[in-house]
Amino acid sequence: MVFDAFAFQEALALVLRPETLMWLALGVTLGVGVGAMPGLTTSTGLALFLPLTFGMDTANALGLLIGLYKGSIWGGSISAISFATPGAPDSAATVYDGYKLMEKGKGKKAILVALYSSVTSDFLSDVVTIIAAPLLAIVALKFGPSEKFWLMVLAVALLGALSGAHLAKGMLSAAIGLFIGTVGTDPVAYVERVTFGIWWLNEGVQLVPLIIGIFAMSRMLEESLKLFIERKSMGDMQERIKAMFNKGSEGLTFAEFRSCWKEMVIGFGCGTIIGALPGLGATVAAFVSYSVAKQVSPEKKIGTGRIEGIAAAEAGNNATVGPTLIPLLAFGIPGSSAAALIGAALTLQGADPNPRFFSLYPEIVYSLFMILMLGNAFNLVIGRVFGLLYARLGQLPREMLIPLVMMMAIVGSFVYRGEFTDVYVMLFFGFVGFFLRIFGVPEAPLVVTYMVTPLMEQNIRRALLIEQGSLFHALFTSPLAICLALAAVILTYLSAKLQVMERIAHIEEQDAKERNSAQEARATAGGNQRRPSDHIDE
Amino acid sequence: MTDRNQSDRELPLYRTNRGVGLLVGGIFVLLLLYIMLGADSFRVLRDGFYLGTFPMIGAGACIICSAVMVFDRFRNREIEELGDLTGKGLVFVTASVAAGFIFIQLIHYIGFGAAGVVYLSTMLFVSGVRPVRNALMFAVGMTFGVYALFTIVGVPLALVPEWAGGGG
């Protein structure tokens, strides 16, 4: 990609407008809140706020969503440290050391090291994204329809294989996405198909209701069911959180922060690589970084309440934020649910991510890069000023949160086009998504495959036309296409054989069990603890 | 999701991966039949492609993955969350979805303001917020909060219905 000075200036003017900066600040503020509240994940937050971007221009929309994304990844560490309950799975690895520090009365120090390591690593990985994405886009431009088809198959296979502990369930999710992506009309001849006799399905399943249903509504249904079954107590954390605000509470010195450099480098390296690969994501990055840091520096006794452990985990998960956008920007293929949601926002703005994205919309690319970088500064300032206040958000009763999020999901899918049918679709996929969650089928492969299915079909049919109907030649037109096809098969086989995700899931499960037993022990010792709902009763 | 190793005799089929595989596979077999028996599925398009090829590939892939779930090494593992999903829970979740459906219909008839308060106060009450007065107060506040949020971003909602002079 040749540097376009005019587009750069345009992007600079767009991003530095007070309104864009305001949306970015609001995005980060909301994002940290979303991350800090157990039950709300990054994907839920992004899906929920996606409808708000309809009326905005592209820079404002990106400001809100990228800010929210960055903020929520870090925000998860707040409740992980404060309550041993990660706001999102991305921060589960932070619990090991974070909560132990909290119990020692060093919660402020733990939150600050999480913030600084997150921002540092996020910034460095954004630099890598800015360098790598345009270079890969140049490579992607050389791809023909056959290569593009196989690249999408490879991405979907990786996403399916690496999205959960059970390969068949990941692949099932991708297959369901493939099926949903074919509903409506075929993407080449625009002939109606698989509409089940419902006229409004002629236009296919709309992206926004699907996303809100799968990521937001289904999660809220699951949370409301949990609430229905058991009322979990947050425990007697009030006093400890209050202690964090005391002037005498131990903060973080620069020397302490500097002592974590090795763990931050590990987190940055692991997070950047894992983030750029489809399917793995922030949770895996955090666990891998944490495990590597533990192996590399056994003398630091990571896991016993050390700031180095927090630094490794938080640097690992935040380093995925920028790189997860690389496949989306370079190839037009979202590699994660967050990338799919940001891709959806770009599509709604009329800028479909594809290999020509850099030449077609340079001002959007530059805006995105600037927002990525600026987002770190906002994350740092907002996190530093309000970080400790967010710890109180974790105590926000779920009884209030769940109905509110459900209402936002319904209204958000309605205002998208002003069609009641979109709400029906959202509710349907909320219900389907709920069962997928219960069955343990990951949702990200479904949404990503749904998004790339029309492109896959277009490309294979274009390849067939070029090769005059010969399927073999259309599929294996070049050595690169053959390599990509082989890579899809081999990587899927290896992920099944090596049981990578099963091992990671096992570690997470053990961790969750330890946390639960610790919380139960505290609850038993605490005796007459108050339920979250008791706060409302008063 | 968490899977737990259990022996065959201890667990009912529906709580294992095998049961889920059979259920999902069954649904997609029916869908595949629906597509294959459809009038246009084997219609040849101008580029020589069958109209139903990709939907059939999609449904077929779902069946294959479900079949793998029925026979792979995780087939007898328990899906713990299914154990939590009692009949009551299922009714609760279905009712929550139905409440969303009723809410959107109510917006049409009585406007977002009143519909939002009715929906939220009901949901808050069902979720455990007591007394009713608190549920109502929170519902009013949240409804107007959501209204304000969407208005700020340039997507105004009709506070009152069309027949009462609202935007509809």
- CB atoms closer than 10 angstroms to residue B27: 15
Interface test with B, best of A23, A188, A228 (most B CBs within 10 A): A228
Residue B137 and residue B145 in contact, taking contact as beta carbons nearer than 8 Å: no
Highest-pLDDT range among A86-90, A91-95, A372-376, B73-77: A372-376
CA distance B93 to A228: 10
CB B127 to CB A406 under 8 A? Answer: no
- In Å, what is the CA distance from A234 to each residue of A80, B17, B147? 12, 32, 31
Go through A214-239 and write b for each residue having 16 or more CB atoms within 10 A of its CB, e for each that does not: bbbbbbbbbbbbbbbeeeebbbebee
Residue A276 and residue A326 in contact, taking contact as beta carbons nearer than 8 Å: yes
- CB atoms closer than 10 angstroms to residue A468: 9
Helices (H) and strands (E) in chain A, counts: 26, 2
Rounded average pLDDT over B10-14: 81
Per DSSP, the residues of A304-362 read: SS-HHHHHHHHHHHHTTTTGGGHHHHHHS---SHHHHHHHHHHHHTT---STTHHHH-H
Per DSSP, the residues of A131-148 read: HHHHHHHHHHHT--HHHH
The pTM for the full model equals 0.85
Q: Given the structure tokens 């710890």, which residue do they identify?
A: A391
What pLDDT does residue A40 have?
80
What pLDDT does residue A245 have?
55
Angle at A430 between CA A424 and CA A432, to 5 degrees: 105
Point out which residues pair with A377 in neighbouring strands. none
A145 touching B (Cβ < 8 Å)? no
Residue A153 and residue A147 in contact, taking contact as beta carbons nearer than 8 Å: no
Q: How many residues does chain B have?
A: 168
What pLDDT does residue A241 have?
57
Minimal Cβ distance to A407: which of B2, B64, B146: B146
> Binning pLDDT at 50, 70 and 90, where does residue A33 land?
confident
CA distance A532 to A390: 17
A179 touching B (Cβ < 8 Å)? yes
In chain B, which residues have their Cβ closer than 8 Å to the Cβ of A470? none
Residue B21 and residue B67 in contact, taking contact as beta carbons nearer than 8 Å: yes
Angle at A109 between CA A521 and CA A314, to 5 degrees: 85
Q: How distant is the Cα of B125 from the closest Cα of chain A, in angstroms? A: 9
Point out which residues pair with B79 in neighbouring strands. B3
- Please tell me the least confidently modeled range out of A22-36, A184-198, A269-283, B28-42: A269-283
Q: How distant is the Cα of A23 from the closest Cα of chain B, in angstroms? A: 10
In chain A, which residues have their Cβ closer than 8 Å to the Cβ of B127? 224, 227, 398-400, 402-403
What residues contact residue A258 under an 8 Å CB cut-off, 6+ apart? none
A168 touching B (Cβ < 8 Å)? yes
Minimal Cβ distance to B55: which of A193, A399, A402: A193
What pLDDT does residue A508 have?
65
Per DSSP, the three-state class of A486 is helix
What pLDDT does residue A178 have?
96
Burial of A527 (0-12, 13-18, 19+ CB in 10 A): exposed
Residue A14 and residue A20 in contact, taking contact as beta carbons nearer than 8 Å: yes
> Binning pLDDT at 50, 70 and 90, where does residue B51 land?
very high
The answer on pLDDT for A527 being more than 70 is no
pLDDT tens for residues A86-133? 777 788 888 888 888 887 888 888 999 999 999 999 999 999 999 999
What is the CA B100 to chain-centroid distance, rounded? 11
The answer on pLDDT for B4 being more than 60 is no
A24 touching B (Cβ < 8 Å)? no
Minimal Cβ distance to A225: which of B49, B92, B142: B92
Point out which residues pair with A193 in neighbouring strands. A184
The answer on pLDDT for B83 being more than 90 is no
Q: How distant is the Cα of B66 from the closest Cα of chain A, in angstroms? A: 7
Does a cis peptide bond (omega within 30 degrees of 0) precede residue A134?
Answer: no
CB B48 to CB A415 under 8 A? Answer: no
Minimal Cβ distance to A403: which of B68, B120, B153: B120
E strand residue ranges, chain B: 3-4, 78-79
What pLDDT does residue A536 have?
30
What pLDDT does residue B65 have?
96
Minimal Cβ distance to B58: which of A178, A221, A464: A178
CA distance A264 to A98: 16
Rounded average pLDDT over A276-291: 83
In chain B, which residues have their Cβ closer than 8 Å to the Cβ of A440? 1-3, 79, 81
Among all residues of chain A, which has the CA nearest to that of B122? A403
Rounded average pLDDT over A156-164: 82
CB A407 to CB B57 under 8 A? Answer: no
The answer on pLDDT for A336 being more than 90 is no
The answer on pLDDT for A266 being more than 80 is yes
CA distance B105 to A352: 33
In chain B, which residues have their Cβ closer than 8 Å to the Cβ of A172? 24, 62, 65-66, 69
B123 touching A (Cβ < 8 Å)? yes
Residue A133 and residue A379 in contact, taking contact as beta carbons nearer than 8 Å: no
CB A221 to CB B96 under 8 A? Answer: yes
CB A424 to CB B101 under 8 A? Answer: yes
CB A431 to CB B97 under 8 A? Answer: yes
pLDDT tens for residues A448-463? 899 999 999 999 999 9
- Please tell me the least confidently modeled range out of A76-90, A142-156, B124-138: A76-90
- CB atoms closer than 10 angstroms to residue A420: 16
- Please tell me the least confidently modeled range out of A45-49, A203-207, A245-249, A288-292: A245-249
CA distance B112 to A423: 14
- Residue A218's closest CA among A435, A58, A60, A73? A435
- Residue A401's closest CA among A216, A209, A208? A216
CB B49 to CB A461 under 8 A? Answer: yes
B101 touching A (Cβ < 8 Å)? yes
Rounded average pLDDT over A228-257: 64
B6 touching A (Cβ < 8 Å)? no
What pLDDT does residue A229 have?
76
ipTM, two decimals, is 0.93
* pLDDT over 90 percentage in chain A: 49
In chain B, which residues have their Cβ closer than 8 Å to the Cβ of A183? 55
Where is pLDDT greater, at A386 or A61?
Answer: A61
What is the CA A460 to chain-centroid distance, rounded? 29
Q: How distant is the Cα of B163 from the closest Cα of chain A, in angstroms? A: 17
In chain B, which residues have their Cβ closer than 8 Å to the Cβ of A411? 112, 146, 150, 157
Q: How distant is the Cα of B152 from the closest Cα of chain A, in angstroms? A: 9
Q: How distant is the Cα of A303 from the closest Cα of chain B, in angstroms? A: 24
Minimal Cβ distance to A399: which of B74, B85, B128: B128
Residue A252 and residue A94 in contact, taking contact as beta carbons nearer than 8 Å: no
Structure tokens of A477? 């037109």
Highest-pLDDT range among A64-73, A220-229, A251-260, B43-52: A64-73
CB B157 to CB A399 under 8 A? Answer: no
CB A404 to CB B69 under 8 A? Answer: no
What pLDDT does residue A79 have?
79
Structure tokens of A361? 């919309």
Per DSSP, the three-state class of A301 is coil
What pLDDT does residue A521 have?
62
What pLDDT does residue A35 have?
85
> Binning pLDDT at 50, 70 and 90, where does residue A159 land?
confident
The answer on pLDDT for A211 being more than 80 is yes
B16 touching A (Cβ < 8 Å)? no
What pLDDT does residue A433 have?
96
pLDDT tens for residues A488-502? 999 888 877 776 667
Q: Give phi and psi for A166, each to the nearest 5.
A: -110, 110
What pLDDT does residue B167 have?
56
In chain B, which residues have their Cβ closer than 8 Å to the Cβ of A509? 2
* Mean pLDDT, rounded, of chain A: 86
CA distance A278 to A162: 8
The answer on pLDDT for A243 being more than 70 is no
Structure tokens of B165? 């002079």
What residues contact residue A538 under an 8 Å CB cut-off, 6+ apart? none
Side chain identity, residue A372: L
